[in-house]
Amino acid sequence: MIIPALPALLVEPPVRAALVEDLGRAGDLTTDAIVPPTVRAEATLMARQAGIVAGLDAAATAFRLLDPSIEIAVERPDGTRLAPGDRIATIAGPARGMLTAERVALNFLGHLSGVASAAATLVEAVRGHKARICCTRKTMPGLRALQKYAVRVGGGVNHRFGLDDAVLIKDNHVAVAGGIRPAILAARQGVGHLVKIEVEVDTLAQLEEALAVGIDAVLLDNMTPEQLATAVRMIGGNAIAEASGRITPKTAPAIAASGVDLISAGWLTHSASVLDIGLDWRG
Amino acid sequence: MIIPALPALLVEPPVRAALVEDLGRAGDLTTDAIVPPTVRAEATLMARQAGIVAGLDAAATAFRLLDPSIEIAVERPDGTRLAPGDRIATIAGPARGMLTAERVALNFLGHLSGVASAAATLVEAVRGHKARICCTRKTMPGLRALQKYAVRVGGGVNHRFGLDDAVLIKDNHVAVAGGIRPAILAARQGVGHLVKIEVEVDTLAQLEEALAVGIDAVLLDNMTPEQLATAVRMIGGNAIAEASGRITPKTAPAIAASGVDLISAGWLTHSASVLDIGLDWRG
Amino acid sequence: MIIPALPALLVEPPVRAALVEDLGRAGDLTTDAIVPPTVRAEATLMARQAGIVAGLDAAATAFRLLDPSIEIAVERPDGTRLAPGDRIATIAGPARGMLTAERVALNFLGHLSGVASAAATLVEAVRGHKARICCTRKTMPGLRALQKYAVRVGGGVNHRFGLDDAVLIKDNHVAVAGGIRPAILAARQGVGHLVKIEVEVDTLAQLEEALAVGIDAVLLDNMTPEQLATAVRMIGGNAIAEASGRITPKTAPAIAASGVDLISAGWLTHSASVLDIGLDWRG
Amino acid sequence: MIIPALPALLVEPPVRAALVEDLGRAGDLTTDAIVPPTVRAEATLMARQAGIVAGLDAAATAFRLLDPSIEIAVERPDGTRLAPGDRIATIAGPARGMLTAERVALNFLGHLSGVASAAATLVEAVRGHKARICCTRKTMPGLRALQKYAVRVGGGVNHRFGLDDAVLIKDNHVAVAGGIRPAILAARQGVGHLVKIEVEVDTLAQLEEALAVGIDAVLLDNMTPEQLATAVRMIGGNAIAEASGRITPKTAPAIAASGVDLISAGWLTHSASVLDIGLDWRG
Amino acid sequence: MIIPALPALLVEPPVRAALVEDLGRAGDLTTDAIVPPTVRAEATLMARQAGIVAGLDAAATAFRLLDPSIEIAVERPDGTRLAPGDRIATIAGPARGMLTAERVALNFLGHLSGVASAAATLVEAVRGHKARICCTRKTMPGLRALQKYAVRVGGGVNHRFGLDDAVLIKDNHVAVAGGIRPAILAARQGVGHLVKIEVEVDTLAQLEEALAVGIDAVLLDNMTPEQLATAVRMIGGNAIAEASGRITPKTAPAIAASGVDLISAGWLTHSASVLDIGLDWRG
Amino acid sequence: MIIPALPALLVEPPVRAALVEDLGRAGDLTTDAIVPPTVRAEATLMARQAGIVAGLDAAATAFRLLDPSIEIAVERPDGTRLAPGDRIATIAGPARGMLTAERVALNFLGHLSGVASAAATLVEAVRGHKARICCTRKTMPGLRALQKYAVRVGGGVNHRFGLDDAVLIKDNHVAVAGGIRPAILAARQGVGHLVKIEVEVDTLAQLEEALAVGIDAVLLDNMTPEQLATAVRMIGGNAIAEASGRITPKTAPAIAASGVDLISAGWLTHSASVLDIGLDWRG
């Protein structure tokens, strides 16, 4: 499935900000001093590592914001599985602009491809099960929309985008409310008809309490595969079952085998390693 | 050594932006629906993992921007080496604001502590050598000043903050200029008296060419420890010697033993894992 | 029920922008020329019309941004039903700041109270029925979060805050997809587990198609009370039933009597009249 | 008369902000999930109600900011009197962008046309008299320039754009100054030679005091047509006479017959109903 | 006369921007490396040159934005005539913040005092005549409100703040309109009742044409004192007479003697020399 | 030598801000009222004074932001030495946009050309000596990048762009540190390997202390040519020698004759007079 691109209105501001962050007050001292404005260049975005590419719009935006005459021809669009040595895109134009925008373009592309690749690794690990891989709100400040997009590109799905698009009742909310039941009732009372409500439960007793009052989704936190399987049976399809806590490519298959609908992992966005993508210049 | 804090004028904007990103248009649906405005709480920032804490200013700013009456008492300031279970700070105030700001505060704190801890690991790996650990411009878009600060907190030093505060001549600049020597001469001609010039060299022949024309620093890219040792001898203290390429805690000691002044690693900022720090609420 | 206040982080930016819009480049020529800086004043926000007050935070923010020493004592907080002549709040401080901020403060307060009062009128009209009153995305540009808050203050509930927090399939989406069923299936496939899906239906045949595939909510557009009653029976509690189209205080009771869960009206936010609130100065 | 368009530099920022407000962090979930990127569409902006169209630049900007390849062909430009069923403009391009931008475009167009239509109704009511219809500073926060433009499109004229482009002495200024005369003198002393001075008077005695010291304009507040006629005689063409207070299409003719130069009404901008304009999609 | 202070809402943004411009990405390297955070200091703003002080609010804002605990005690407020050696204000607080903010504070204070002093020199030159000294729109980009304030502090008055607060018909407008008369009539037709109209005339014939149709003010451009005197007689008090072109302290007295109401000079804002004000630190 | 242009990303924001500052809320009242939208015009930027042109990018950006169809053909690019009457560029397009943008374009062009011309005057004064002319951080708030660019266009070189791209130890830092030597050592310890360190010295004794500990550059403040010559001998090429204090075209030759490397002058940016450039319209 092709993941719809983010609107340019959401991509351009962080890219512009990153370019300004890098240009500082005087611009690219090195390139300006060494490269005459008339020199043109051609370069290729190359995969140096296997993974999933994501963020080509952001990278292209970086080049075009720096110099609108730079042209980018994408060969392997977002979502393509890359092998080392694969050519991703060709970039041609004035050498100055290409050199100046290169690092910012690669910073977006490498990071977002890293997030997509991490998601894809988990997606692969649970293949054959119905569980889908999901992100969290543990994102890099300022990059949430882009990171969540990269998770989708990697085959995952998105959890809440913020505090305002769904209810997620956590242990501290439960403590203040005096129990799972009053917390859910208060939430249901407080929000609109298009807002889903999820509650975090640490025990099967809490799960029972949540199911009794009715709930859209339950976050089963740090449970063993056995506990999860029991939970899934208790839920019986009446709520979405999300497992979280210490999810790795190794632990994911057993968790998925429990029958949960979703497996969420914060490290997809807070600790993903960059995917090594380089820009090779042609003589 | 205590690392000077970043000015609030540089810390507040990204924290404010991250809060707005998380609040969206409607704010914290869950907390608003469940937690009465009069409830007060106390919570503790706790290390769940060993590492170096960094980013407490950003975390405190998140709480205070959400509700100025939230109070933060720091016990282990930025730069402290944490053991699992160490108490970092105590936070007290209206429960609503604390719950609403928690994730943004932890996103900054966990990430920046992760960067500082990564830097500290490399610093530790080269202890006994003169080499200092250094970051690059491979940073998360929008977070450069904060990430570079975290590298300093971890005991590292900073490379360029952007394209405009020093010259770094790379292979593509050399190709355009037609050699190391004309590239350096063009740079020297083009920049002010307070701008240092560094050149990336891949071979000892290039190094010789650079030294012949005079240079402030050389980036010795992807050389073996033996090559590095030769390079250091050739340099003879007449330029700063920086090694880069595939730096890990394992490879760093041999590289440092070559006598280089600096070892730089992009993964400190582009692929650092979060440091696990939690906010424990008191009954 | 007390409606939770919007976070100051969401209220302050539009108020600050409105003050700057009013101050222009030279500030308040009139007040600066006539009122010495030492003059202090006291004034009272008074209801000149019956309605529901909303927006006191925005009004207070206008005064405080202009001069932090201005003090506002609220007697009738947001949500209070006002009779003409009711005192809402007392404001005291330097006369200059009070005079300069007055219009912006009243512009927010009058408009948001107008929205809340309009919502309350519809809420009142359907009293005794289960239907709740709901807003739409037909809002004043830049004021959505504030207007939706005002709807809540007036006793209503909120529909989507934007294009990204729920799915609402409209006729044009259905046309592109080639039917209600494929549209719903595509939507279900494309969004995360915490996103609800609503579909607009114009006929009972479309409703049947939607119910067959399963749906969270249906928007019954421009149906008669009789058609609505039939629709509600067909839905049988398996989806939320929302009625829209030509809703007025006169038509609302019959529509509510059909048994729908929600009645939505765009005019609450796009055509609400201001509520007349004045600032009376004391000699 | 064709009203000059607002500069794009003033129109684009509020439109961009409104689109970002609507897109949130994830964009248009519905359209992205259902409508393939290759689908093209054509649609027509249609008047569903009689009135004056205003805001086509803002509407076109919304579509073009979302997707620059969307084309808008205007048939009835701003200022045209619309009958129900009149075609205003045709819009063609990628269906995704058109669906995503539709609501924001209509929010601007409907509101601004509503303001223009309200102004035109009053203009019509006073036809045959010299009085011109005028707005106030009672505007929607953030939309003042656009609303004032819509008033002009509707045949009205603009009062002050802010606190800094003219002096308007109100009762509270008079109270502080200790009288009409000292207030006017202080204002005249305090402002530049291109700033006009208007004073609000509630009685004919105050008017006399103002005329004695000399004034550019007088705001005759809440006077009867008879009082206004007397005032106009007293003024004798030596100042601009502006009537305000409870202006409606019914009361306006008698007020205009008094001979005043201007009739101002806050509800044109604070309480105008939307003009119903729809976007009809072609199969 | 004490000139009213600009609202903080207008002063703070340019000061904040200037601090961020100076701090860059890493802050004050020098002070952070050398000055421990506990060191406190006291310093005095001293006049090194005679002139008029202006901009103390901006300077104080620079210090307070950097560190809210810095205290500023003003001894000679804006508008005071300074002799060399005069103490203007005392500043005390943490040395770090004071050192870091010093340059930005002085950049505002020196420049705005320079503008005020230039204005005062012209004001002094025309003492005894009724002519007032006036600025233009030839201002430093981004600093118009502050510069115009400084002109007022220096005893001058302000011309237009922008293109939108008055009409100034120049030669090119006249050329397009086909004459002075049609230009004035078009302007009168096109703008609101609170907008004054001024026309630039180069000859007495043009002046006659303007007076015949009626005008609020005339800009008599580059006329000799004799021509100006004739013009003033022709005007006979029926319009404001403004002289401009090559105004210096030497030429101003003769020009003022012609009886004009205003003398405007662009160099007050585009070419004023800084007033030398230093910050002396106490041992 | 052709000075590399500033990236558009750095030029556009201040130009856009200046246009918005000038347009205010209602745009160009005069032009809108008088000039029909169909009128086209052609005009020429003409030098009225000898000097160096700088800022054509900013001027062109002003016209294009106002109306993208305005075309600018540059005949004498930035850095050209102008004689009075020289044609700099031709501008053609819709008259409205050209008239509206004219003042902002000229404000940038005149000021930046003034800065470049001032720099060129000093450069000329020291011709034949090795000394280069240098600016300071005494810049107009918000315009630093543009002003520093203009200094380069005028043949000068740039000092620090801000507090964060080099260390400059001043007398107050020395006082806190307890001497030149500890201040330099603290700075060297605190900053990265690409940051140069300069120290301000007032006496030859201080210079000796600085040279003993080693330093990249010394700022010789307010020394006589004789003292400077002695200083240069003492330095012996081991540091960059910068002279500052009361630099004028008259004093500069003798100072340059002392053998210093750099001569810096704050007035280039804080007190440069505008270069008189006009826009001549063709009948």
- In chain D, whose CA is at the least distance from the CA of F97? D7
Q: What is the largest CA-CA distance in chain E?
A: 72
Neighbours of F234 (CB within 10 A): 16
User: Using CB atoms, which chains have 3+ pairs under 8 A with B?
Assistant: A, C, D, E, F
Which of F31, F101, F95 lies closest to F64 in space, CA to CA? Answer: F101
Nearest to C261 among A193, A240, A242 (CB): A193
DSSP state, F193?
Answer: T
Which of D136, D225, D215 lies closest to D181 in space, CA to CA? Answer: D215
Q: With contact defined as beta carbons under 8 Å apart, do D279 and D88 qualify?
A: no
Nearest to B26 among C5, C9, C161 (CB): C161
Confirm or reject contact between D4 and chain F (CB < 8 A).
yes
Amino acid, res. F20: V
Which of D56, D262, E137, E262 lies closest to F30 in space, CA to CA? Answer: E137
Q: Which domains does chain E have, with CATH numbers?
A: 8-119+272-281 (3.90.1170.20), 124-270 (3.20.20.70)
Query: What is residue F283's predicted lDDT score, i.e. its pLDDT?
Result: 58
Query: What is residue F193's predicted lDDT score, i.e. its pLDDT?
Result: 87
Q: What residues pair up with E92 in beta bridges, in sequence order?
A: E42, E71
Per-block average pLDDT, block size 10, for chain B (283 residues)? 89 98 96 95 97 98 97 98 98 97 98 98 97 97 97 96 96 93 95 93 96 97 96 97 96 97 97 96 77
- In chain A, whose CA is at the least distance from the CA of B266? A274
Confirm or reject contact between D99 and chain F (CB < 8 A).
no
- Give the distance from residue F29's alpha carbon to the nearest chain C alpha carbon, in angstroms: 16
Nearest to A25 among F4, F5, F144 (CB): F144
What pLDDT digit, counting tens, does each position of D117-158 carry?
999 999 999 999 999 999 999 999 999 999 999 999 999 999
Query: What is residue F192's predicted lDDT score, i.e. its pLDDT?
Result: 86
Quote the percentage of chain D above a pLDDT of 70.
Answer: 99
pLDDT tens-digit profile, chain F (283 residues):
679 999 999 999 999 999 999 999 999 999 999 999 999 999 999 999 999 999 999 999 999 999 999 999 999 999 999 999 999 999 999 999 999 999 999 999 999 999 999 999 999 999 999 999 999 999 999 999 999 999 999 999 999 999 999 999 999 999 999 999 999 999 999 888 899 999 999 999 999 999 999 999 999 999 999 999 999 999 999 999 999 999 999 999 999 999 999 999 999 999 999 999 999 998 5
Residues in F 107-136 with any Cβ partner in E closer than 8 A:
107-108, 110-111, 114
Query: What is residue E38's predicted lDDT score, i.e. its pLDDT?
Result: 94
Q: With contact defined as beta carbons under 8 Å apart, do B227 and B271 qualify?
A: no
Which helix (H) or strand (E) segment is F125 a member of?
Answer: helix F95-125
Query: What is residue D1's predicted lDDT score, i.e. its pLDDT?
Result: 61
**B23 interaction partners in chain D (CB closer than 8 Å):** none
Q: How many residues does chain C have?
A: 283
- In chain A, whose CA is at the least distance from the CA of B184? A34
Across the interface, do E141 and F17 touch by the CB < 8 Å criterion? yes
ipTM metric: 0.97
Nearest to A195 among B29, B106, B189 (CB): B29
Amino acid, res. D19: L
Q: With contact defined as beta carbons under 8 Å apart, do F141 and F99 qualify?
A: no
Query: What b/e sequence results for C203-232 when a residue is b if at least 16 CB atoms lie within 10 Å of its CB, and e otherwise?
Result: eeebbebbbeeebbbbbbbebebebbbbbb
- Give the distance from residue E18's alpha carbon to the nearest chain F alpha carbon, in angstroms: 5
- In chain B, whose CA is at the least distance from the CA of C145? B25
Helix axes B8-23, B95-125, angle to 10 degrees: 120
Which of A157, A204, A167 lies closest to A187 in space, CA to CA? Answer: A167
pLDDT tens-digit profile, chain E (283 residues):
679 999 999 999 999 999 999 999 999 999 999 999 999 999 999 999 999 999 999 999 999 999 999 999 999 999 999 999 999 999 999 999 999 999 999 999 999 999 999 999 999 999 999 999 999 999 999 999 999 999 999 999 999 999 999 999 999 999 999 999 999 999 999 888 899 999 999 999 999 999 999 999 999 999 999 999 999 999 999 999 999 999 999 999 999 999 999 999 999 999 999 999 999 998 5
Confirm or reject contact between D12 and chain A (CB < 8 A).
no
Neighbours of E2 (CB within 10 A): 10
Q: With contact defined as beta carbons under 8 Å apart, do F273 and E267 qualify?
A: yes
What pLDDT digit, counting tens, does each position of E125-179 carry?
999 999 999 999 999 999 999 999 999 999 999 999 999 999 999 999 999 999 9
- At A73, give phi and psi (nearest 5°): -110, 110
Confirm or reject contact between B137 and chain A (CB < 8 A).
yes
Verify whether residue F152 is a known catalytic residue.
no
Task: Tell me the HSE value of D53 on the side-chain side, using a 13 A CA sphere.
Answer: 26
pLDDT band at D2 (very low <50, low <70, confident <90, very high): confident
Please check the confidence at residue A1 and state whether its pLDDT lies above 80.
no
- Chains B and D: how many Cβ contacts under 8 Å? 5
- Chains A and C: how many Cβ contacts under 8 Å? 62
- Give the distance from residue C9's alpha carbon to the nearest chain A alpha carbon, in angstroms: 14
**For testing the chain B interface, which of F153, F164, F168, F193 should be mutated: the one with the most B CBs within 10 Å?**
F193
**For testing the chain A interface, which of D12, D16, D20, D25 should be mutated: the one with the most A CBs within 10 Å?**
D25
Confirm or reject contact between B1 and chain E (CB < 8 A).
no
- The 3-state DSSP class for residue F84 equals coil
Give me the DSSP letters along D198-217. Answer: EEEESSHHHHHHHHHH--SE
Across the interface, do D24 and B24 touch by the CB < 8 Å criterion? yes
Residues 6 or more apart from C205 whose CB is under 8 A from it?
A: none
Confirm or reject contact between E26 and chain A (CB < 8 A).
no
Neighbours of D227 (CB within 10 A): 16
